[in-house]
Amino acid sequence: MAQDSGTLSLEAAIALLRQFLCVDRLPPEQIPANSLVQQALHQVREHSDYQIFGICADSTTVAIAALHSYLAALDYAERPTTEAIAGPVYLKFNPQTGRCHLDTYTGDHRGVLVSCQSADDGDVQETFGHLPLDLFTVS
């Protein structure tokens, strides 16, 4: 499900994604449309070597579903799985190492953290989120 980076500049994409920082939650009426957030994420992906994903969710099932939808949308072939644990979870996946870690989570945030990793100082090296769990879910 690759997507064209569209008309957003890299600077505009970064500014849009920074709105999701967990310290400043946006009121629902100010949350950008999913299509715009998708476009912004594709744009920053093009300017980073790879991404690491962190997911805060109410269950392992929700976390794995969100991870798989993000990986598919960002052209990663991996679809890691893990043993389920009860209650809210934090799932971290590093596509470079293939390491998938799941643990209990007691925080209030829900969503996906996308940490852009780059060897080049001129590229994106920043973490965005919490982005919507269902950002790439097809209805």
Query: What tens digit of pLDDT does each residue of 25-44 get?
Result: 667 777 788 899 999 999 99
Q: Longest C-alpha distance within the chain, in Å?
A: 42
Query: Percentage of the chain surpassing pLDDT 90?
Result: 67
The rounded distance, in Å, linking the Cα atoms of 57 and 71 is 16
pLDDT at 33: 87
The rounded distance, in Å, linking the Cα atoms of 127 and 80 is 21
Contacts of 75 (CB under 8 A, 6+ apart): 2
Burial class (CB in 10 A: 0-12, 13-18, 19+), 132: middle
pTM for this one? 0.85
- Count CA atoms closer than 13 A to 126's CA, side-chain side: 19
The rounded distance, in Å, linking the Cα atoms of 64 and 83 is 10
pLDDT at 139: 59
